[in-house]
A and B are shown apart, each in its own frame.
Chain A
Amino acid sequence: MTVTLQIDGKEVKARAGMTILEAAREAGMEIPALCYHDKLEPYGACRICSVEVERKGRVRIVVSCGYPVEEGLVVRTRSPRIDRIRKVLIELIAPTTMVDGEVSGEIKKLAKEYGADIHRFESRFRAATTRCILCGKCVRYCAEVVGEHAIGFVGRGIERRAVFFPEEARACLTCQACFNLCPTGKIPSETDFVVFDGFSIDDYLSGKS
């Protein structure tokens, strides 16, 4: 079954059950996202892909990676409210991912696009710079696609961390699928076989764990 919706003024046809993000991308329109991956279940953690949807005159903000398309839905992927969400979210995560006063990769691109001041909250950020924004792509890819659980979350709230579970890491040496998923480049930069906070796959394989 197809449904017709409107994205940024353009009519878009989509299959029922698709999300707004999928429909937009299929129609060649880009909605930024940090935790979305086409092989993974929608997760909705980064909130960067937030869009405005209008139905029966009522406007709501939803995340496009999880909201299913509906007939007649009017979607706005940019608006002052949406732009502000993206700007402030980038400003909030910038200090976490900053190296030598600069952010990189996708974050840098988004900061430029939305006019985010990456130093806005820097002086107030007193935690360790982990370079991880907890998008969970590595964790979820490992579980959902690879079928392993070598990476997982521990802790709650601001204590939340993605960690490596060596005893579950049977496939890591040959798999390495998570290396290219990381939106901040944390994993690739550390994977000259150093994985997560000073612990390397070599350590694991040589029994130092």
Chain B
Amino acid sequence: MSSKRLSSAEELEELRKEILAKRDPAKPVITICTGTACQTYGSLKIYQAFADEIKKQGLEGSAVEARPTGCHGFCEQGPVVVIFPQEICYVQVKLEDVPEIVTRTLGRGEVIERLLYEDPVTGERIAKDPEIPFYKNQMRLVFGNNRHINPRDIDDYIALGGYAALSRALFQMTPERVLEEIKKSNLRGRGGGGFPTGIKWETTRNAPGEPKYVVVNCDEGDPGAYMDRSIMEGNPHGVLEGLIIGAHAIGSHEGFIYVRQEYPIAYENTIQAIKQAEEWGCLGENILGSGFDFEVRVHRGAGAFVSGESTALMSAIEGKVGEPKLKYIHTAVSGIKGRPSCLNNVETWANVPLIINKGADWFRSIGTDGSKGTKIFSLVGKVNNTGLVEVPMGMTLRQLIYDIGGGIPHGKKFKAVQTGGPSGGVIPEQHLDTPIDFDELTKLGSMMGSGGTVVMDEDTCMVDTARYFISFCCEESCGKCIPCREGLRMLREILTDICEGKGQEGDIKAIEDIAEVMQDASLCALGTTAANPALSTLRYFRDEYEAHIKEKCCPAKACKALTSYYIDPEKCTACRICFRNCPTEAIHGEKNIVHWIEQEKCIKCNSCFEVCPPRFSAVRRISGEPLPPPPAPGTEVIREKKR
């Protein structure tokens, strides 16, 4: 990258032409996902191996390019490698596959069958990534560029039309026009609340007091959610461009990007993006020669989930403890240092350039009446295809889980999907045809949230699920106000007791009392929503709570204290598999002799249940009923022919 400050819209366009002129669309580019998930599989080494191999085979320079990119989304199958222009997608690529890919696919144009994605349902191998069901049913407006861009190289972003929206906003639109366009688009906050973005911008714009601040909230922390991380890591310029456009519309000249401590790659890529944008004149003083100044600083969090709450985040930026403040004036009016501060989530900012480029009408054409555009979800849990998916609003949960997620693994039954993270709730089977929409999900007692989507199958206990999320919030509450601190403490104790078979009469009433007081009286949104997982599981699975309390039975057979393992003497064939897999030597038996479990030694790790061959299915989980006695010592196996 040569460095030269751009001082007009025309210069930006010329630069874009120059970059594109140097790029032959037919030239093979091999992109290697180096998002956090694929990096943990060693994708950086794979990238390096590609670069070395290309050099070794004399293909470097004009012939082939290896490019490290951000997250592609199909984390289940990482490390993911896509070869352009054919869009051949190789999954679970290993270091030793690299020379073969370079020789065969890049050199001779052959497709390596064994590295292709295999559809778990049809068994068919699929060569091109747009044809993989996981990708095919998505609409990747915000997230789609990730697979083309090296996040450390601004040229890649500019080549794809980057900063054109900024140039348009600065030179062809007034701040008022930009604001109108965002309002008209009906973009709503992607962080969870769904507040109309345009109205928030307008509030800050009209609020008295200077300077005004704009802030990116990248303190994503819901269990299992990593949408914002992947955008920030994979396409930091997209967020930055949105932020600058917002600043221009609001009349702000100073911004902050709050990146949580646990996202080192997002942090580094953001710093690098800011540096490059400043060098090119897309950020800093006199942006693109327009006379508009804007600077941005990155604030690194210190590891508190509650800092994602707006007043807490702003306290942290001020250098204080990241703790929510008592406020009845919105931060859009009085935020950082008491100044008007417009805070939006990463995904919200990343939508802004799209709306400016394609117009509010285009944006409004996607989605439902109340929720426009797309939403990125991190689809995790008991689902075949885990990863990040971007879908138009209005798609049903069933389509999301079955068409994209590929359904539930191992032929198990779907039980519920948890959306909205620890502030959200569970949605059961009967509501799976609900369209994804801010208001529809709220009606079901859950919420859109930032996009965490945890799929649960029949083996998941709903009381235990509530206990998990309540414990999470209990550890993440700041502890300032009584309802949140003491309410979560007590909910955790009660739920833990219920899961351990120590539930008491009156516990359900106590949970409801505490939960409702937390909703009514907590200081910030963490507290007012923290009891939702308990309330929503109670709403749909009250019978499970009652079974735990009254019958000491866990219907899902997941709560260890309420579940015992038993080998059915009539089905056991003494195959020795469970015996060999038991980590505590709790299983007794020998060849031809029916096996049995010594309950005192059993730690209920579930190994025997999992390894017992399905054709025997001799290991049973028993909950809420008495355990049958073990077989008499030396009972012989009943063989098929004897039956």
Contact = CB atoms under 8 A, between A and B. Distances in A.
Task: Give the interface centre of A44, A48, A61 by most chain B CB atoms within 10 Å.
Answer: A44
Contacts of A67: 328
Contacts of A50: 520-521
Contacts of A89: 482-483, 486, 517, 521
A136 B482 CA distance: 12
Interface stretch (B196-204, B487-495, B630-638): B487-495
Contacts of A169: none
B475 interface: yes
Contacts of B510: 120-121
Nearest to A161: B479
B480 A45 contact: yes
A130 B490 CA distance: 16
Contacts, number: 101
Given A61-B520, A157-B474, A124 B497 contact: yes
A127 B521 contact: no
Interface in B462-509: 474-483, 485-490, 493-494, 497
A112 to B, nearest CB: 19
A96 B486 contact: yes
B326 A156 contact: no
Interface in A91-134: 92-93, 96, 120-121, 124-127, 133-134
Give chain B's interface secondary structure class: helix
Nearest to B477: A157
Contacts of B112: none
Nearest to A62: B328
Given A158-B474, A158-B488, A81 B520 contact: yes
B479 A160 contact: yes
A61 B486 contact: no
Contacts of A188: none
Contacts of B517: 84-85, 88-89
Given A50-B520, A50-B521, A45 B478 contact: no
Interface residues of B, number: 33
Interface string B514-540: 101100111100000000000000000
Interface residues of A, number: 39
A196 interface: no
A133 B516 CA distance: 21
A85 B521 contact: yes
A92 B483 contact: yes
A127 B489 contact: yes
A46 interface: yes
Interface string A155-185: 1111110000000000000000000000000
Contacts of B516: 84
A68 B334 CA distance: 15
Nearest to A159: B479
B326 A66 contact: yes
A81 B490 CA distance: 20
A46 B493 contact: no
Interface of B: 304, 321, 326-328, 474-483, 485-490, 493-494, 497, 510, 513-514, 516-517, 520-523
Interface of A: 42-48, 50, 61-63, 65-68, 81, 84-85, 88-89, 92-93, 96, 120-121, 124-127, 133-134, 136, 153, 155-160
Given A124-B497, A134-B479, 16 more contacts: A44-B523, A47-B483, A47-B521, A47-B522, A50-B520, A63-B326, A66-B326, A84-B516, A89-B486, A89-B517, A92-B483, A92-B487, A156-B476, A158-B474, A158-B488, A160-B479
